[in-house]
Amino acid sequence: MTNISLLLVDDHAIVRAGYRSLLAKQPGLQVLAEASTAAQAYPLFQQYQPDLVITDISLPGSSGLELIARIKQYQATAKILVFSMHENPSFALQAIRAGAGGYVSKSSSPDCLLQAIQAVHAGRYSLSPDIAQLLALEKLGNAQFALETLTVREFEILRLLVTAHSNTDIAKTLNISIKTVCNSHYLIKRKLGVNSDIELTRLAIKLNVLNILDLAISP
């Protein structure tokens, strides 16, 4: 079996400990480093050059989507697998667009994660069965289709906008100009066919980009 070195990125220490324990029992898998944020993960990737990065999408500050894009910009051949609680197929599509080779929901079996690690490392795309089924069966309405036309950057700005981050906060988090945020804010609303931030938030809830718990814990 091919040896595969790993970088784990998840903001929940208990979750990391759980699947670190799982991975440690598998022949050929070695966890080189762990991170709880994208800011921690990027220099660790540069330092250790792991064969595969396993990352969540929801991270403090910059999300897993930003991390994926940044790593792929640094090393186009990097192999990345998303392991996330989000079961909305739109998240999977955005992750693949950003450069991930696979997407596994955290409700999947351990075997599913292990199989995805092998597949993505071998250069094949891999989706957990629940995500693959949702993608196959989904009947896209106009709003859902519009959501999937957003670029990775626009999707990330949308995620921050609807969790009550200001344009200034978003610019700082994503390391872009406030003008870029404002322009993207306008384009997002136009693409999604809404006229106000209230409508944008309602649509985000409807499309499962946002849930009530996100609103309750947002700044």
pLDDT in tens, 96-133: 889 999 999 999 999 999 999 999 999 998 999 888 87
Q: What pTM was estimated for this model as a whole?
A: 0.70
One domain for residues 55 and 112: yes
Tell me the percentage of the chain whose pLDDT exceeds 70. 89
Q: Which range of residues forms the domain containing residue 183?
A: 142-217
Q: Which segments of 160-218 are extended strands (E)? A: none
Please say which residue of 113, 137, 161 terminates a domain.
Answer: 137
Among 120, 137, 154, the domain boundary falls at 137
pLDDT greater than 60 at residue 194: yes
The two three-digit tokens of residue 85, written as one number: 């609680």
- Quickly state the pLDDT bin for 211 (edges 50, 70, 90): low
| Phi, psi for residue 31 in degrees, rounded to 5 | -85, 115
Which class for 114: exposed (0-12), middle (13-18), buried (19 or more C-beta within 10 A)?
Answer: middle
Position 76, amino acid? A
Same domain, 183 and 123: no
What CATH number has the domain bearing residue 168? 3.40.50.2300
Q: What is the distance, to the nearest Å, from the Cα of residue 47 to the centroid of all Cα atoms in its chain?
A: 22
Q: Does 12 lie in the same domain as 105? A: yes
Taking only the tens place, the pLDDT of each residue in 43-71 is: 999 999 999 999 999 999 889 999 999 99
Given 137, 161, 179, the domain boundary residue is: 137
Do residues 37 and 66 both lie within one domain? yes
Q: Are residues 133 and 150 in the same domain?
A: no
